[in-house]
Amino acid sequence: MSQAPATSRAPAASGTQAVDRAALLVATVVHADEPLSFGELQDECGLPKSTTSRMLTALERSGLLERDEGGSYVAGRLFWLYAIRHDRWQELVRLARPTMTTIGQETGETVHLSVRRGARVVQVAQVDARYLLGSRDWTQVDVPPHCSALGKVFYAWGNLPVTTPLERRTEATLTDPEALRRDLRRCVRRGWATTVDELELGLSGIAVPVHGARELVAALGISGPTPRLQGRHDELAHALSEHAHDLSRLLRGRARAQGVA
């Protein structure tokens, strides 16, 4: 656990004491390497129990702090709003991680979360497969969007234009723009994208869109050996879509709570 900030003892009584104490609690949580329990916060800040309780309740109400599933304190939704405007991906990963872990447990396959950065689609988080034969770590690897199911999501849902030429990675890669557009229209009709041997021989992927309050935010997908995923695309895509819907609802709910249109 990290040390509390240099001002980590309760300030002397003054007209700004309440503000000072509230700021101390927020700063202690933000500086911590992990969520802090009520007792840890009280101890590190040197505040009375009743004061700590009253201050934390007010800070939760204002959105400056919130509690995780274990009841410990983390930065609240106002920090999420700031992050989504400035460095949204780190906070997106934090929110998506439980969903990704659940998908990994249910499918056993490698789980991916990707976002668009300019003309590129970049994977920002991964949960590894439980099988010995799984996918490599694709985090931050530059993959041509038309070769991955994750990239096809951004094409299909109008977040990324199809540009030429289209690089051929395998014999199965779609390098004809019209063939790719036909495939993308199928993606939209069924609600998910797929690749089979298009990036690497023996590798397949399935991905679905994750929507925020106003636009496509990310693509959520799985990948694994083609023989293992063969015949399971519909089943896996349906499960992915349900999880993506829940994650989208979470993001939209956060945005509404923060006043984002």
Same domain? For 26 and 110 the reply is no
Same domain? For 120 and 247 the reply is yes
Domain annotation covers residue 44 = yes
pTM exceeds 0.75 for this model: no
79-137 pLDDT, tens per residue?
766 655 556 677 788 889 999 999 999 999 999 999 998 888 989 999 999 887 666 67
Same domain? For 101 and 70 the reply is no
Question: For residue 221, what pLDDT band results from cuts at 50, 70 and 90?
Answer: very high
- 209 three-state secondary structure: strand
For residue 151, give the CATH number of its domain.
Answer: 3.30.450.40
Last residue of a domain, one of 49, 75, 101: 75
218 pLDDT more than 50: yes
Question: For residue 188, what pLDDT band results from cuts at 50, 70 and 90?
Answer: very high
249 pLDDT more than 50: yes
Same domain? For 111 and 228 the reply is yes
Question: Which residues fall within 8 angstroms of residue 255, CB to CB, at 6 or more apart?
Answer: 84, 212, 213, 214
220 pLDDT more than 80: yes
261 pLDDT more than 70: no
223-243 pLDDT, tens per residue?
999 999 999 999 999 999 999
Domain annotation covers residue 145 = yes
Q: Which residue has the higher pLDDT, 118 or 201?
A: 201
Same domain? For 50 and 124 the reply is no
Domain that holds residue 206: 85-257
- 178 three-state secondary structure: helix
Domain annotation covers residue 11 = no
Cα–Cα distance for residue pair 59/22, rounded to 1 Å: 7
Positive or negative, the CA dihedral 19, 20, 24, 25 is negative
Domain annotation covers residue 246 = yes
For residue 58, give the CATH number of its domain.
Answer: 1.10.10.10
46 pLDDT more than 80: yes
Domain annotation covers residue 1 = no
Same domain? For 183 and 93 the reply is yes
Structure token digits, residue 55: 């201050």
Last residue of a domain, one of 54, 75, 96: 75
Q: DSSP letter string over 87-145?
A: -HHHHHHHHHHHHHHHHHHHH-SEEEEEEEETTEEEEEEEE--SSSS-----TT----G
Same domain? For 153 and 55 the reply is no
**pLDDT score, position 31:** 86
Number of domains in the chain: 2
**pLDDT score, position 42:** 93
Q: DSSP letter string over 41-53?
A: HHHHHT--HHHHH
